[in-house]
Structure 1
Amino acid sequence: MPKVDIYTKFGCGYCVRAKRLLDEKNVSYIEHDVTTGGEAREEMRRRAPNARTVPQIFIGTLHIGGSDDLAALERAGKLDPLLQDDGNVA
């Protein structure tokens, strides 16, 4: 299973929704809190230069986008194949 990163802020309902979907699928992920800015926020901006909202989700090196994007992949049946990849998702 590839590494999953999710950039979040405190009190973000969309972040909670995205994490819930990943939890329901028993996907482990690394949560990066960008509430107060700092290095985590700068890292998020480097990885997703046009992203201005949270959550920002990455599966391997693939930028998924936000909570709605993650849910759309799930509805389309495309999320599980990404999560089963060998970790070299580009």
Structure 2
Amino acid sequence: MQAVKMYTTAVCPYCIQAKQVLKSKGVAQIEEIRIDTDPAQRQQMMELTGRRTVPQIFIGQTHVGGCDDLVALDKQGGLLPLLNAV
């Protein structure tokens, strides 16, 4: 399974929802990068994604986007193939 990295904050309902979706697909470990406690990580997230909001989700090297993007990818049937890509 691909590594999953998520930029997040402590109090973010969309981050919680995204984690629930990923866990329901069998993701056991999510590398969480807290941008509320590390401003340098927030800057890095914005440089990588061009976005200011959390969550920002990466599966392997692919930037999925935020929670809505993750849910849309799942509904289109693209989430599991991306998670299971070699």
Compute the TM-score of the two structures, normalised by the length of structure 2.
0.90
Equivalent residues in 2 for 1:27-46, closer than 5 Å: 27=27, 28-46=29-47
- Using the alignment, how far apart are the partners of 2:32 and 2:63 within structure 1? 15
**Structure 2 Cα separation of the partners of residues 43 and 53 of structure 1:** 13
Over the aligned positions, Cα root-mean-square deviation in angstroms equals 1.2
Distance 1:84 1:42 in 2: 30
How many residues end up aligned between the 2 structures? 85
Q: Kindly provide the amino acid, as one letter, of the partner of residue 69 in structure 1.
A: D
Structure-1 residue corresponding to 2:53: 53
Residue matched to 2:25: 25
Tell me the residue number matched to 2:69.
69
Tell me the distance in 2 between the aligned counterparts of 1:46 and 1:62: 15
Answer with 34-43 or 7-16: which moved more.
34-43
With structure 1 as the length reference, what TM-score do the two structures score? 0.86
Cα distance between partner residues in 2 of 1:10 and 1:43:
18
Equivalent position amino acid for 2:59 in 1: I
Structure 2 spans left out of the alignment, 5+ residues: none
Q: Structure 1: how far apart are the matches of 2:14 and 2:46?
A: 18
Q: Which residue of 2 aligns with 1:82?
A: 82
In structure 2, what residue type is equivalent to 1:12? C
Note the C-alpha offset of 1:60.
1.1
Identity %: 45
